[in-house]
Chain A
Amino acid sequence: MVVLEVFTKNIKISYKSTLLSKASVLALIFGVLSLVLPFIFAYKSKGLWLKRDTFYEQPDVKFRGEYIFVATTNNYNKSVITCSNLPHFDNVLRPLDTCSVIKVRETDRNFDGKTEELDLSLQVNLPVNTHLTSFCIIIPFNYKLQVCPLEMQTAIIFQELLPFYISKYSLVANVVVTQTSPLICHRKNTNTLFNYPVIVDNGDLNNYDINTIITNFSKRNISTSLRDVYKSFSPGKTQNFVLNLNIEFPEDRIYYKPGFWQVLKWAWIHTIFLAGD
């Protein structure tokens, strides 16, 4: 018959010594050291407990179909141009609106259901002999994370001063998340703390002021900003100002406060395994 090794057992050897002996003192010292040292190492190397951790995720971003474009011109008769399609804003500031066409395309390149790229093209009609001296565009969008469930409304905010006649302005940028504190994750509850509009659309003119919007936006703990911004513009005197935005939504690094079990897991690995044996 075939013989298999089915069970092994180590031989246990006991070494005995009297209480007051060199051997027992040595054993005591080493025993204490092997318990305490790992804790000392763990403590000296930035603590025992995991305080924050990161994850990488591509956010699920949806354009809300809204925008605000505010520009100043060198023309005294028409020194400001505001465009928007927010319903109340439109009612209030329609006379200042000279934007004719806005064209948007959300591209999902790998067909995973998440938008990778937002192309936005805005055409602004200008009076004769007029050029923009500055502009600001705000594009609110919905931002959703899955690993650490989060839903918020955030925006692409871009401001620029234009020193001379510019007929076409193109911008290529990535949207990244900016955090002032770690996210607090709950597996089941979606974090909707910042799921309120960037622009309060109630017809109150004060709410459409760029200053108000930006001040409120900057108070958020988690928001988005543009990074890797590349600009190009073609100078020229035309009756149209064309603004092209090409915004990418790459995979983002988000840090969060780890949950109890995760903290315990790392404490286990750091400490118990160091001390273990």
Chain B
Amino acid sequence: MAEVHIIGQITEAKDFPKENLFCKWYLQVGNNWKVISGKKEGQTQVTSPQFGKVCKWSYPIDIHLATAGLQGWPKIYLQVYHLDWLGRSHIFGYGFITVPTTPGTHILDCYTWRPFGTIKDRFVQYFLGGGYQIKNPDLIFSSGERYKLSTEAMGVVSFELCVVLRNFSNYGVEYDTSLENVTTIQSSETNVKKGTTSPILSTTAVPTTTCKANSSCFANSTNNSVTVPPTQQTTALVTTPIPASFFHFDIKTSERSSKNLCICDLTIDYCDLNCCCDKDCSLENKLVFDHCEEDFRQYDTRYCQYVKHIYVNKTPHEFQINQNGLFCIVRSNLPASYIVQRKQPLKSLQDAQFERQNKFNWPKPTHEDSQIFNYFNYTYGKPLLILRNNTIENLQFLKSFVVTSCVVKEDIKYLIDVKSSCSHTNISADNYYLKADTFFRNMTIIANPGLLNVSKHKNFLKNCTKDVCLNVRPKICNEDFEDCVQISPNDTRIKSSCKVNIANNELFCINLVQNVRYNFYHNGSSGLIKVELYLILKSATFYYHQEMEFSQTIEVNFIWWNHTLNYSSHLSGNPGYLVGKPILIANIVSINVPINNTNSTSNATSYKQQLQLYRNPSDFTENFLVLPFVNSEGVCVLSKHKYTPVEFGYNVYLRCEINDYLWIKNLSAKNVCIAVQNTIFKYWALKVTNGTLSNRVIALFGNAYIYNIGDWLRPMFENDLKDILNRTWGEFDRQNKTLKCGNITTLLITEIFHARVDFDDIINQEKILATTFQFDNFQNFTFALNHTLQFYIKLGAQVMFHDITTKKMRKLVDPPSLKIRLPHDFFYPFVKIDNHGVRQALFMNNNSIDRICKNCGDIVNRYCCRYQKRCCEYLNPSGCPTPASPEARISCRTPQFCRSSTDCPMFKQCCDTSICGATCMKPTFSGYRY
């Protein structure tokens, strides 16, 4: 029997998609083969390589076979499995190799494959694992109907086998013994090829360019790009009777090389001076020339040889310049080149306009079609129309521009208030604008253009109804628009006239218009309802040796027709103060309020004195913090109309003189001095009643509400007015000629502390947190006495604004705490229960708070009651009135009261400041919890 020894190993598996592989193998032999020793099948260990992707098994094979024939030569078939992380094994490949028939050492590669399912199967396989397996392993090496088996390639398993043959020669099988020591490398090609066939790069010839890169080709292309498109040529030919030869010629010149161009030739058929290239210049002409003008030729000096145009004896010559620099270009292999540049004429206007973008443009003047009258209703900013001499014009006023004199006219625009002054230099009674007539005579103001309808009445201008064309009724006032008198248009009191006094070289004019004030009462879109005109006339003397100037002020106010002037309704911001707005003040007054006794049957109503805030709506100085007005002589004036408002954010230092007098009959020296001091206070707009200023409050916010006491704040005084008045002393001298007053304060220092606060989502609202008044500059004065005391004092007033905003922090509301209380003896046997007297005292405390609150009357909740108590205290420091005044109740309840009430969503946290104010605080007393 011939014998075959197969000795070797399954070395490794490589190119598998995953690691953790093991392999089962079987030796398949024919029927006339017999295994003498060694195992016919086996299974390798699981290998998971750490480096690389090759699973090394090194599984030994040692089989001794005996055979009686060659049929059924031993084959090894394998199944490679993958062991996943869950301990499941999946088939990863089948393959077989035939044991080499030549003796010797062989390294064999076995390509493996795996059945290949449908897409759905592969989907399941990807997620759940598993897949198709071959039920009958014979299929691996049988040659039956294998086309039905679709497979995919997997990795390669390498074998190293030594085959030793024995006794084959006895059976007539010969082999070359010289091969015994030769290692053969054989690969068993299964029916499945490894992977898809790699695409062989077919070296198909790239289509060669038809145009060879030589000069002729490029010459063609340049021609194409340069010439005018033929279509355009033809159109030009059609539209204009220019002979075709012209174009031909033109093209030729543009194509022509620059050789024949002469740039300085600017006159045809004449010789240009100093233009040596001009063909019109004869040689004789050229003798005149001083030099030859340069042309704009560009020479490519990089080349070793180039042609240069040089004038020799004033005739152009072409020289070939040879450079001998080392770095000049001797030969250039670049293909012919042409310059891409814009030289095609633009085809259309659109093209031209497109090119114009981002270029310089002169602005086009725009005409405002003011002359075209439209019948639309007035809207904000539309010019106001008047009817004068049966024509419709815009109402205009004179205005200064750059200089103070009246130089321009401007339209009065609907709903835009105007206050403007300018000075007239042309002083005469004929000056149109200095006459009172100008502002009302022969003039009606059109209430609303929409009411006019030309189509209805042709003569609408003639017989304009009074509700459409409003008559202007003038009123004459004295200064500050007080004591106004209605006058008829023909009144002589408004006739202006001028007289020249030659002796004094002066011009005296009477009834020149100094101030004009139009009040237009309007009703929004439905136009004007009523027009008022106030005039202030003035007489003045002008000197011819001086420049004559007369200042005129025009004021236009648009007022809602159902409104009157009311300073109390003016806010200085909503809610916080705006910079530049005046500061709101109010006075505390006590009024008698009837108390309704519901249970009493008697008609007699009892009155109760109650404090309230009051602001006189018609007086600016009682609504806003003011300082005296300083007139041009530097004298303090403070009246209903003359004042300097303190504007939020503007620090002011104001100095002026007061010039006042007092009746001093039957007054002691000290009382006179007190009177002087009181006069000074009056100029500071500090109205002293009962020698105290405590009746004045200042608004915390720009939108402070008069009925809400929480919006107002008492100013703080360094020293009370009463003390200051008491401290003043005075004495008459012996002859009663002079009075000496001492300790009279002449400087008021107002300091306003403000901070930016947030209301929910409206941020940085200015709030006044404190106002202090200080008096300084105490001086002694000596006044001369008459029966009146004339005094003359220099006053000062300072206003300072201090921003005391600190960094804002957002604090979170504590989460609602749940307190579980066990009975105090719950742990009785384990814990000693002590006497909890302290806690009882705590509860006592709570009760007392409740009691106070109940006294206040209306209890919204316990915390609000605390406010109420505070508010009560504020109103009436002596104690809580019972029941609380309705205002106090309102102030405790309304949302304005707790300005940041939303900042305190838990009612156990509430707003708390000195006066029912703004910041959230936790209740200060401990042990008090809902």
Contact = CB atoms under 8 A, between A and B. Distances in A.
Interface stretch (A6-14, A31-39, A231-239): A231-239
A101 B630 contact: yes
Contact of A101 (B404, B549, B653): B653
Nearest to B803: A108
Interface string B143-183: 00000000000000000000000000000000000000000
A105 interface: yes
Interface string A204-241: 00000000000000000000000000000011111110
B632 interface: yes
B652 interface: yes
A99 interface: yes
Contact of B634 (A104, A119, A125, A236): A125
B651 A104 contact: yes
Contacts of B549: 237
B650 A105 contact: yes
A246 interface: no
A101 B634 CA distance: 10
Interface in A51-67: 65
Given A3-B50, A105-B579, A108-B803, A239 B653 contact: no
A1 B50 contact: yes
The secondary structure that dominates the B interface is: strand
Given A105-B579, A105-B650, A237-B549, A100 B634 contact: yes
A75 interface: no
A236 B405 contact: yes
Nearest to B547: A237
Contacts of B760: none
A104 B650 contact: yes
Contact of A85 (B653, B764, B805): B653
Contacts of A3: 50-51
Interface in B629-684: 630, 632-634, 644, 649-656
B402 interface: yes
B690 interface: no
Chain B: interface residue count, which band? 20 to 34
Contacts of B405: 236
Contact of B655 (A65, A100, A107): A100
B118 interface: no
A129 B548 CA distance: 11
A105 B649 contact: yes
A103 interface: yes
B632 A125 contact: yes
A7 B512 CA distance: 102
A37 to B, nearest CB: 29
B866 interface: no
B600 interface: no
A86 B236 CA distance: 87
A235 B630 contact: no
Chain B CB within 10 Å, residue with most, of A3, A101, A119? A101
Nearest to A120: B651
Nearest to B50: A3
A104 B547 CA distance: 35
Contact of B632 (A1, A65, A240): A240
B113 to A, nearest CB: 30
Given A99-B655, A101-B652, A105-B579, A234 B404 contact: yes
Contacts of B50: 1, 3
Given A3-B51, A236-B405, A236-B423, A111 B756 contact: yes
A111 B71 CA distance: 101
Contacts of A125: 630, 632-634
User: 3 tightest A-B contacts by CB?
Assistant: A236-B404, A239-B632, A100-B630
5 contacts: A100-B656, A102-B654, A234-B403, A237-B423, A240-B632
Interface of A: 1, 3, 65, 85, 94, 97-108, 111, 119, 123, 125-126, 129, 167, 234-240
Interface of B: 50-51, 400, 402-405, 423, 546-547, 549, 579, 630, 632-634, 644, 649-656, 756, 764, 794, 800, 803, 805
